[in-house]
Each structure stands twice: as C-alpha cells, then as structure tokens.
Structure 1
Amino acid sequence: MGLDEDIVSTCAAFCSPVAKNQYLVGSPDCSGVGCCQAPIPAGLDFYLLQFRRFNGSWSGGPVTVYIVDADRLSSYRMDEMQASALPAVLEWVISNSTCQSNSTTSPECRSSNSFCKNSTTFLGGHRCHCSEGYDGNPYLVDGCIDIDECKFPENYPCFGDCNNTIGGYLCQCPLGFEGNASIPKGCKDVDECVHPHAYSCYGICKNLPGSFQCQCPQGTYGDPTTKGGCINITIKNSFPGSKIALVASGGFILLIVALAAPFITHKIKVQRVKMLKEKFFKQNHGLLLQQLISQNTDIGERMIITLRELEKATDNFDKTREVGGGGHGVVYKGILNLHVVAIKKSKIVVQREIDDFINEVAILSQVNHRNVVKLLGCCLETEVPLLVYEFISNGTLYHHLHVEGTISLSWDDRLRIVLEVARALSYLHSSTSMPIYHRDIKSSNVLLDDSLTAKVSDFGASRYIPIDQTGVTTAIQGTFGYLDPMYYYTGRLTAKSDVFSFGVLTMELLTRKKPFIYRSDDGDGLVSHFSSLFREGKLADIIDPQVMEEDNGDIQEVGALAVVCTKLKGEDRPTMREVELILENLRLKMHTPSCTKPCSREHIPAQGVVTQEVSRQYTMEEEIMLSARYPR
C-alpha cells in the first residue's frame, strides 16, 4: 500500500499442511495456498508491507517475504530461497525529457554505439541503451564496447571458425567443410572428388574429412594432379618364359617409381602451400582489397606482389635486413626489380590491426604526391600481411632534429620541411577523391630522403571522410603531445585535428623540444608554454638558439602560425590550404633578394596581401590552450 495506507496491491494466502513450502515462486500454483504474490506498481516512492490475519487462519508463526525482479523470477523453490538472495532491479529513467523527435538519440546517450528509448511507464522520461552487439555504459563516450561473441558460445552459438567483427561476429565452416556453422553438425565435409577439376585430381580420388587423397589408378604411375599425368605401365615380354626379361622390366618399373616419388611428393606439398596461401589471402581481407583496387586497373596490375619475390628481395627476411620498426610492424630493406624498397611486416594480433592494414593499403594506393611516401604493392600470401614502399634512405625528421649537440637541421631546411608537410596534408584534405585525415602527424612519421625532402608516412590510423561530412565520431587514435584536445575529449575527428598536430610539429621544429615529454617550470606542456611566451613577447626564451642565430625575421610569423594552428576551438584554426599559402609566402620572402635600387616586378612577393591579413590575425591571439596544461 502507499504512504497514506491506500491499498494499491494485495494478495491472500491460506495454509495447507500438505502443500507447505512446495510451490514454485512465480508459477500459476502460487495463487493462495501456501504462498501468494502481488506486483509492485511502478512510480511509487514508498511501499509499506502489512500482514493481517483472516478468521484466525494465521497462527502467528514466521512469514517470509521476498521483493524480486519479476523478469528474473523463474523456477526458484520457496525452501531454496531462504538461504540465498534473489535479484531485485531499481527501475529509473531520465525524467522530464524524451528522445528527440523522429530520432533515437538524446544528449545523454554519449556513446556512438548507443540509442535512446522512451519509458513506457506513466512517469514518462527516457533511458539510453547500448546498440545490438555492444555492451557497457551508454552515458560515457566510447562507453559501449563491442561484445566478443566468440568468447560466449553459449549465447552466440558457432560450431565452426568464429571471427569477431565490429558490432557482431562471423561464423563460418573450417577449410574443407561447408554448410551452416551456427548449428551443431551443420558443417559438412566437402567431397572434393565430386569436383575433380576444381581440386586438380585426374586419378583415383579418395575423400577425407576436410581434405582428399589423389593417386594414379592401378597399372599407371606419374602425377595424378595434372591432366594426362598418369602413364600406363607397358611390360613387353619379348622373351616369353624368360625370367631375366621379367626381372629387368620389374627393376625398370621400380626405378621409374623411385624417380617419380619425389616429384609427386613435391607436387602435393605445392598444392598444400597453395591452399594455405588461399586461406591467408581470405583471412587477410584479400577479397576486400581486390574490391577496393578493382576500380583502378593500373593500381590492380602493380599492387599484388608474391611472397617468393619478397623472400628473394630480403634473403628470407634476414635479421640483418631490418632497418626499423614501430607500432604497426617491422621494416626490412630489400631489392625488388632493381629498386631498393622498404617492406613492412605488420604485427597482427587483433582484428582492429588487420583493419588498419587494409585501411593503409586502400588509402595509399590512391595517393600520389611527392611529399607522401609511395606504396608500391602488398603481399597477402602469409599469415602476417606485408606492405612494400619506396625506400626513404635518410631516416625520420625526429632523429635529424633531436640529435645530440647544439647543431641540428638549419632553419632554412626546417622551414622548407614544414612547408612540404603542409603541402602533403593540404593535398590529403583537399585534392583526393575523398578527404583523408592522417590522425597521427608527428616528427617520427615524417621521413627524409637524401636531399632532406619530407615524406609523410604511417597511414595505419588514417580515415576517409565522405565529402558531404565535416567530421566523424571515431575511437581516439594518435600520440599524446600532438593530439587535438577537442578530438580527445569529444571523439569528433575533423580536418582541424590534423591542423592542431601540424601546429605542434611546427613548435617542435622551432624549439627542438619533444612535445610528449616537455614540461615548463610551471608544469605547462609545450603548446601552452609556447603560446604564453608568444603573447608576452618573450618567444626568444624558448626558441632553439641555432634558429635564433640563423633567423632572417621570419621566426615571429612562423611562431604565430603555430599558435593559431593550436587554438583550442577547431573553427578558430586555419585550413591546411591556408597554412600552405602562408608558408609559401614566407619561403618566397626568404629567397627574394633585397633591392638597393627600385625593384623590378619579379622581386615583389606574389602573395603580399595574404601576409598582411595573417599578421593582423596573429596580433589578436588569445590564451585558450587550457587542455595543454593537463598531463598527456
């Protein structure tokens, strides 16, 4: 009953010596004899229990009462419940609001894999739930986590090979079997002998579980896996009754069999290796890659490289051929078709890394820019996929910049390198068929060739963004110190996320400070400290002394560009195209000779107007780098 003792739910029970403690809770039998049950209406703040005796039927003995979630109530016996706790659920909703009209979302459902559902009680309100295939907390960013259905076969039956996918799972029969892997004994053995041409058997075929055996018919010998490979054994008895001729013929036959045995064994091994390569090809999403490159025949013809070619190019992946490694794999140096190449063997340990590998192939196969590392091809015939790049001989920008000693790259080289990185990002954002966001711009991902030309590399974390979208919500990837704080806190990836990382890279080139470990005396990170000094007119306190000595008046403008690129709000940052034009103008001014006489037209910078506009913008710089103060 309610707080004012109005009865809102009731039931009556009568004692029976025969039926004592023998009824199931929640069953139709629990309706008055030995036990009874009454539902608690939704929406009550208080609920008072009272027991009353009818006509002396209650002797005053012990009475047991349980408050239990009705949906969880099943086959608990009353005598079993006395020593254990039963599940009870507190029903709650986000009151005074409902899901957005014509939508299944609400501001409270922060996870990208969640949905909103209005409450069906008279209280109104709504609740958030994780999408199908996800579990966790829908009220947190990335709170709904993909369920690995393969770890719970009792809930997601799979009687074959189980592969977890994003938001679901893939259940398929093992190699050599076909059918429905989701039911017991649903995978049936493939009878390879029914399809001799598909499985290359032109002799006597014997089906085996998951495989088959092929041999030449009696009276023949040779290779049963090739058409016409089985040859008749002809014994010509030139001398009837002559044992010598028979023994000689038998010896000849044994010799032929002995010579043919290694050949047959080799063929079987080759067939097995071929089948294994096909298995790895499918496992490594080869069909998806074929679909991605099929629209461009030029890419398709040069993309696929065999394992044998790569083994020859690297001396079977000799340890001495290793030239580097990183978060996505080990890199080998090799010679392929008289060209020096870099071969990356990916460290595939989880499904997401396989997706990253295919993502990198799909992106780089369609990129052609002098400041982006060139992808030459890939190999899918091994358990671990392989990528083949042009070989960049001079290491990374990080190693050139952070060398021991006082002398590093010249200021002219640094300004040219940052311009080349800006050109590459501007191309990725604006000139490809679909915009590409790199997501991990940093000095260790910029390679330098013999002439110190910059090449942007490592596209494992990159994303395509449809042209009709300004951004996309995705899992956070990148490197702390370079990571856009708005992307980090919201999960919203835009082109301005790369602009922020580029601004940090520019500060690194100006200061020779490592963004991921730098802390000022006040505990500020590189971005916050650099911006504060710029605003106070003390930028020289943090600039690399070598740069100060080589300065020709451009440090303040480059510093201002770095500051505006790292503004907290993405809409306050320039685009990479605008950054490219500004740096082009600065480089042009650096290499324009000074005039002692009236200058001719060719000596006048072509983009002076751009410089004036940029300068006015930088003088209005504000301190909004709050996120950079937090430890990364």
Structure 2
Amino acid sequence: MEVLRHLGLIGLLLLAIYYVPSTAIPSSQCQKQCGGVEIHYPFGIGKNCSLEWFFSVKCQVQDDISKPFIGEFELLDISLTRSTVRVLNYIASFCYNPSSGLMEKEGFGFNATNTPYLFSDVHNKYTVIGCDALAYISDSNGMGYESGCVSKCRRLSDVTEGSCSGIGCCQTSIPKGMNFYKPDFDIGFNTTKIWRFNRCNYAVLMETTTFNFSSTYINTTKFNDTSAGRVPVVIDWAIRNGGTSCEIAKRNETGTYACISSNSVCMDSMNGPGYVCNCSKGYDGNPYLPNGCKDINECIQSPCPSGGICHNTNGGYRCSCRAGRKYSRQSNTCNPDTGLIIGATIGFLVLVTFFFSGYMILQKRKLKNVKREHFRQHGGLILFEKMKSEKGLCFTIFTETELVQATNNYDKSRILGKGGQGTVYKGLVKDNMHVAIKRCALVDERQKKEFGQEMLILSQINHKNIVKLLGACLEVEVPMLVYEFIPNGTLYELIHGKKQALRISFSTLLRIAHEAAEGLNFLHSYASPPIHHGDVKSANILLDENYTAKVSDFGASILAPSDEDQYVTVVQGTCGYLDPEYMQTFQLTNKSDVYSFGVILLEVLTGQVPLKLNGPEEQRSLSSNFLSAMKENNLDVLLPSHIKEHESTELIRGLAELAKQCLDMCGTNRPAMKEIADELIRLRKLSQHPWVQTDTQPESRGLLAGTPTTGFDDIEICASGYPMLDSDNLPMNPMSSYYGR
C-alpha cells in the first residue's frame, strides 16, 4: 500500500495568490520571542507585527512547550544577515511491512509556491539512506527538475561510519529557485531482500551541516525515531513580489520599499528574484526597521596595530598612534616618526645626562657623609688618635671597597660560616694575605659608642691561643671585622663533625683543651681591662695548621664593667653551654666562661654533643646527664669504649672531677681559668707518663678536693624563654666574630 502526502505551507498556500507587502510598522507590543527563538522583523507574531502575511509566525503550545511555526513547519531560527530561516522538514520513508510482506511508502512533499521562500541550494542536500535504495526528487511546478540518489550495500559491514558516499547513504545537490519538491522511491529497485537487515529506506531534503551519518540508521529506525520524523532544512527568503529587484523597489513602482532603516543597503537576492536588506558596513541590527541599523563599535575588536589608538566613528573607526609614531593605513602599522624621535631623543639624553650627573654628585656626597658618620659612631676617630699616639699598633682600618674586592663582592663560594651574629667570608687583602672577614648582623646604640674603644683593646691582645683581630671596617652601618685566617676548622668538628674520622688521640684533645684554657685565662687575667668571652664552646675553638687551639669569637665578649649597672646585658651564648646562674641574673662574669668550658671538657671526655634535640627530655642535656651519673657513681655509661679501654682511671676521674667543679651551680665555687689550666697540665702529664706521681702537686689536689657541687636535682638547663636551638638560631651579641663555623 502506497501512501503519499504532499504537505506544504498549508495556511500560506490558501493566500498565495496575491503577494502584496504591507506598509505597517510593527508595534512595540508585538511578541519578540517564542520558545527561545528570536522573531526578527519582517517576521512577526500577531496582527500587524510582520511585513506581510507570509512572514507571519504562529506561537503554539505543544506538550506544554511554546514553539514557533511558519505554516505547518516548526521554525528553528531566523537570520537577517543571510536572509534564511531554518525549519523542520518531514522525512519520507519506504519500509517493509511484515503483515503484508510488502514495502510501503510514506512521503511528505514541500510546496512553497507563490511565497517568499526558496530552498537553499547552498546549505541543503537531498539525502537518501538505505541499502538498495533509489529515491527521486522532482519539482513538478514548472522547472522540470528531476534527479535521484542511489544507495547500495550488500552487507551491513560494507557501511562506513560517518561516510555518506553511496554505500548505505548518498547525497545530491539541488538547483537554485526550487520552491517545491516531492520525494519518491523506486519500488522495483529493492529486489535483493535487503529488508532482512534493512527494514526502512529514507529520503529527505535537509541541512548538510547538521547531518552525520551513522551505520545504525541502516538496521534500525533510529534515524526516523531520534529526529521524530523531522530534520532541519534551510530556506532562503526575500522581498519578491513578482520579480522585484532593488532598482525597481527603490523607485517604489511595486509597493513600499522594505529597506527603511538609515545606514541600510539593498541587495538583489542570490536565489531567485527579489531583494534583501542589510545594514551598511560598520552598522549592525535590523535594516527593515526605522533606525534599526546601529553603529558597530569596531574598537572593541582592537583593529588597530599594537601601540595604536582606536577611535570609533559612525560606520567605521579611525586609528592613530602615540606621540613619535605615524599611522600607515596601507600596512596598518604604527611607524616611527623619525624626525620627532631624533629631536626628542637628543633633548632627552642631554636632560638625563645633566640630571644624572647632578644626582650622582649628590649621592656620592651623601654616601661620603653617611660613611663619615658611621666611622665617627663606631669610634674610628678614637682609633686614629690611638694609632697616632701608639706607634707600632698592629691594627688596620679597612675601607668598604677593599673588603668588597677581597671577598669578590661577598661571593657565596667565599663563605666560611654563618650564624645569628653574622656571616664570615674568606678574603685576600693586600700583600696576598688570607684573612677572615665577618659581616656582623647587628650592633646596638651602646655598642656603637664603645665599639672603637673595644676594638682598640681587642687589637692589642697578642696570645698564641687567641685568634688575632687584624682590623675593622667602620664606615658601614654595621662594622666588619678582619681576623687572621685559621685553616683547620674547629674543635667541635674534630669531636663531632666532619673531621671526626681523623681519630685524633685523647692526649691531643687534652692539649687542645689546655691551650684553649690558657687563651681564656689570658682574657680573664692579663687583658686590660679583663674580657669575659660570653660564648665559650667547642665551635669557637679554632685549630691552625698544627692543630694548635685558637680561641675565637671573643668579639662577642664584654669588657669587665667598672660599675654594677653595666653587668646587665642581653642574653647571649649557646644553649647547652649557658651558665644557669647567668640565665637567672643576666650578669656575665668570668665564672660564666668557666661553666661553658666545663661543657667542653665533657665533650672531650664523652664525645657527645652538649644538647640533643631528640630523645627523652630529661636526657637531652649532656651536663645534666653527667652530673646525674657522677651523683650515682655511674660515669661509665657516658664514656666511649676507646676512652675506657685505653685511658687510665685516674686520668678519667681527674678530668671528670675538673668538669664537675666547672659545672657547679654556684659561680663562686667554680675554679678560675688559671686553676683549670694548671690542672689540665697535670692531667696531660698523667696522660703522657701514667707512672709519674702526681701527688707532689698539692695545688691540683686541693682543686679536685674542693667543695662538693650541687646535685643534679638543682640544675636547670636552658631556662624557660630560651628555646633549645642550635647556636646559629640563638640571639647573640652582634660584635661576635663567629669565625670558622
């Protein structure tokens, strides 16, 4: 049974006999949208809302959804610039009916005769889907056009996904001027029983860009079901009225001219007779409405070259360039204005040179004044006067430039050590002498006033076990100190660090400890005025090429004060070495150095670090562990095997007793550095000649038999408020040399 229905623009055809444009202008009350589709004039919804009846759109509700229709065809969108509409076209089918055993046709034609509409030959193609399908397309409305498309395939595997080239799917173009078409299938072409896997064939005129062929269209009804039997088709529209052209329409010979907007242009239709309207170049909007074409702001798109300035004008734009450049319309570039640039450049350079020279002169004067003020603040004038009056004073005043050159502008590769007090660099000064240059971190106002005087005193210290201060740079905000260079690292490294592998003998360690004691004894007893070191630790005992001890960092010390008020200082030193009495009183004395030296003796004796940041809190302090072991007569737990096995018990006991007296909680009970040095001489002899009778040294015996020290329970290491950090993170006196770390 064959069913062929020809549906066209049903309502339109009834009134298609006469096509007369309306002169009405749409009311502002006209509906502008339906179902999400913008309805642009000349189209309109309702009476007097469209240019003429054929452009009338109906807004209908289907399945509770508003949809726009032109005649019987659902409207998808309207384009004024391309003069097209997109509507849904019906699919014609040729399907096998299992009940009758026959192939039955169901087709839909499209008739737009005597309307403004023609099928777009650019955007549409006649598409046939199926195996052994031959479908015709014809325009029986006087054109005499008839064509067809053949699609064949013997197996479903022959079909290529996405390809519409004749196997399972074919497409053919249509001519211009078609306003009617009828699809039809060749009943006798399907003779190979393809229906067993290809139940239906389809044919439809449709938009090309929206179609993507799928192999499932062959063996299922998905193509028809998914699109609900309809697919988009593009239709060209124009103001036609019996062959009207722009030339005729402008003369108003056939009716009202439709391009009524200022800044609009008329163009003859590209498909069939008639004309369409567009906005002039540089304008956008609706040319069918008064003042419908609005100026486009081209400057939003940045059409001018880089560096150019865009000026929007009616229907266009204008480019200009910044001062010193000219705009070239031919190349759309901003080219340099050579003459202006040369003149301006010369004038600018002269002006800049003048001001720069003046600025540099002022800055040099300012810098010179700043350096002079720093030199005065740091006591440079006092030093100069002393150096003049005391001939032969071995102290050098370095300039900042000299030290910058000596350190290669403080290059990182020259760094010897860093800490809370500053950074130490290795330098090479005149006469190719290697020195250690310390850039101090901070100096307070009190120290600025006393710095020159203290440098003078420290420069006069000349002892084989003390690092020599050679000079200083005083013309900077924070003074820089210059010391003799000591090459072999520190006692800390020898015991705990990277030089531990050298396996230095215990007797050598005793010698180094004794030499350090001699250096500290010199500071306490022979310097004038006496100097309290303030930061005695193994890291501040440097070792020269012969592993001779050199006490360093005495720049962090204070001179012995002349009155009680000067005893109170800021907290300085290193946690693990700090005198508990000093932590309570903030009075730095020579006995504070003795306590710290006692911790060094423990390092030599046990090989352990003064403070462990890991492990149980009660076992972190070496001095606390030692005093506890002494109290319990269990010193062996702290001694390394090579000490217990190779050193005499009397030597170990003597050194332990000496350390114990140094660590006494009461500073007055601690021995003086001279007594410590003398006792270390005795112990060194015992180490070298264990058969020597040491009972002949009553002074030493008296030292070891001194007042019993306070028990372990009375000790308080690193008082609250001073975190247990390594020395680099502790606040220290800014005059520290921090040398050799």
Shift of 1:293: 6.1
Instruction: Provide the rounded CA distance (Å) in 1 between the counterparts of 2:566 and 2:712.
Output: 22
Q: Does 1:626 pair with 2:717?
A: no
Structure-2 residue corresponding to 1:233: none
Equivalent residue for 2:647, pick from 543, 551, 560: 551
The one-letter code matched in structure 2 to 1:540 is D
Question: How big is the alpha-carbon RMSD for the aligned residues of Structure 1 and Structure 2?
Answer: 3.7
Q: Is the 8 A contact 2:421 2:440 kept in 1?
A: yes
Structure-1 residue corresponding to 2:421: 328
Shift of 1:614: 2.9
Structure-2 residue corresponding to 1:563: 660
The one-letter code matched in structure 2 to 1:409 is I
Change (3 A) 1:547 1:274: farther
The one-letter code matched in structure 2 to 1:616 is A
Identical-residue share of aligned pairs (%) = 38
Structure-2 residue corresponding to 1:364: 458
The one-letter code matched in structure 2 to 1:372 is I
The one-letter code matched in structure 2 to 1:435 is P
Change (3 A) 1:444 1:287: closer
Any idea what SS the aligned residue of 1:516 has? coil
Structure-1 residue corresponding to 2:699: 610
Shift of 1:509: 1.9
Q: TM-score, normalised by structure 1?
A: 0.51
- Spell out, residue by residue over 1:443-491, the C-alpha distance to the aligned partner (whole angstroms, 9 max, x if none): 1221111211111112343111146879923332222211111111122
Q: Is the 8 A contact 1:585 1:607 kept in 2?
A: no
Q: Is the 8 A contact 1:293 1:299 kept in 2?
A: no
Q: Is the 8 A contact 1:289 1:362 kept in 2?
A: no
Equivalent residue for 1:290, pick from 381, 397, 402: 381
Q: Is the 8 A contact 1:344 1:386 kept in 2?
A: yes
Q: Does 1:279 pair with 2:370?
A: yes
With 334-343 and 382-391 compared, the bigger mean Cα shift is at: 382-391
- Spell out, residue by residue over 1:320-360, the C-alpha distance to the aligned partner (whole angstroms, 9 max, x if none): 22222222222111222221111112223865775796576
Instruction: Provide the rounded CA distance (Å) in 1 between the counterparts of 2:681 and 2:440.
Output: 37
Q: How does 1:433-444 map to 2 (within 5 A)?
A: 433-444=528-539
Change (3 A) 1:621 1:485: closer
Structure-2 residue corresponding to 1:29: none
Shift of 1:519: 7.6
Q: How does 1:509-588 map to 2 (within 5 A)?
A: 509-517=604-612, 523-524=618-619, 525-552=621-648, 553-588=650-685
Any idea what SS the aligned residue of 1:371 has? coil
Shift of 1:582: 0.9
The one-letter code matched in structure 2 to 1:545 is S
Instruction: Provide the rounded CA distance (Å) in 2 between the counterparts of 1:541 and 1:612.
Output: 26
Equivalent residue for 1:318, pick from 387, 402, 411: 411
Q: How does 1:462-541 map to 2 (within 5 A)?
A: 462-466=557-561, 472-517=567-612, 523-524=618-619, 525-541=621-637
- Spell out, residue by residue over 1:537-585, the C-alpha distance to the aligned partner (whole angstroms, 9 max, x if none): 2212102333334413411101110011111111111111111111112
Shift of 1:390: 0.4
Shift of 1:520: 7.6
Shift of 1:391: 0.5
Any idea what SS the aligned residue of 2:386 has? coil
Shift of 1:628: 3.1
Shift of 1:590: 2.6
- Spell out, residue by residue over 1:81-122, the C-alpha distance to the aligned partner (whole angstroms, 9 max, x if none): xxxxxxxxxxxxxxxxxxxxxxxxxxxxxxxxxxxxxxxxxx
Change (3 A) 1:480 1:463: same
Any idea what SS the aligned residue of 2:410 has? coil
Equivalent residue for 1:343, pick from 437, 441, 449: 437
Change (3 A) 1:270 1:302: farther
Change (3 A) 1:585 1:422: same
Change (3 A) 1:453 1:280: same
Any idea what SS the aligned residue of 2:428 has? strand
Instruction: Provide the rounded CA distance (Å) in 1 between the counterparts of 2:610 and 2:718.
Output: 13
Change (3 A) 1:401 1:278: farther
More strand per residue: 2
Shift of 1:522: 7.3
The one-letter code matched in structure 2 to 1:514 is V
Q: Is the 8 A contact 1:402 1:408 kept in 2?
A: no
- Spell out, residue by residue over 1:397-419, the C-alpha distance to the aligned partner (whole angstroms, 9 max, x if none): 22221136777432112111111
The one-letter code matched in structure 2 to 1:332 is Y
Change (3 A) 1:604 1:440: same
Q: Is the 8 A contact 1:277 1:382 kept in 2?
A: no
Q: Is the 8 A contact 1:293 1:300 kept in 2?
A: no
Shift of 1:316: 3.0
Q: Is the 8 A contact 1:346 1:357 kept in 2?
A: no
Any idea what SS the aligned residue of 2:461 has? coil
Q: Is the 8 A contact 1:441 1:482 kept in 2?
A: yes
Q: Is the 8 A contact 2:658 2:704 kept in 1?
A: no
Q: Is the 8 A contact 2:423 2:438 kept in 1?
A: yes
Structure-1 residue corresponding to 2:223: none
Change (3 A) 1:308 1:456: same
Structure-2 residue corresponding to 1:78: none
Instruction: Provide the rounded CA distance (Å) in 2 between the counterparts of 1:606 and 1:431.
Output: 29
The one-letter code matched in structure 2 to 1:627 is I
Instruction: Provide the rounded CA distance (Å) in 2 between the counterparts of 1:587 and 1:288.
Output: 43
Change (3 A) 1:621 1:279: closer
Change (3 A) 1:433 1:460: closer
Instruction: Provide the rounded CA distance (Å) in 1 between the counterparts of 2:672 and 2:565.
Output: 12
Instruction: Provide the rounded CA distance (Å) in 1 between the counterparts of 2:717 and 2:561.
Output: 33
Shift of 1:278: 3.9
Q: Is the 8 A contact 1:528 1:626 kept in 2?
A: no
Q: Is the 8 A contact 1:299 1:365 kept in 2?
A: no
Instruction: Provide the rounded CA distance (Å) in 1 between the counterparts of 2:566 and 2:462.
Output: 23
Change (3 A) 1:434 1:476: same
- Spell out, residue by residue over 1:419-455, the C-alpha distance to the aligned partner (whole angstroms, 9 max, x if none): 1111111111110111111111111221111211111
Any idea what SS the aligned residue of 1:294 has? helix
Q: How does 1:80-479 map to 2 (within 5 A)?
A: 273=364, 276-283=367-374, 285-286=376-377, 288-292=379-383, 294-296=385-387, 297-298=390-391, 302-336=395-429, 337-348=431-442, 351=445, 361-403=455-497, 408-466=503-561, 472-479=567-574
Any idea what SS the aligned residue of 1:493 has? coil
Q: Is the 8 A contact 2:578 2:718 kept in 1?
A: no
Q: Which has the larger radius of gyration?
A: 2
Instruction: Provide the rounded CA distance (Å) in 1 between the counterparts of 2:553 and 2:539.
Output: 9
With 521-530 and 468-477 compared, the bigger mean Cα shift is at: 468-477
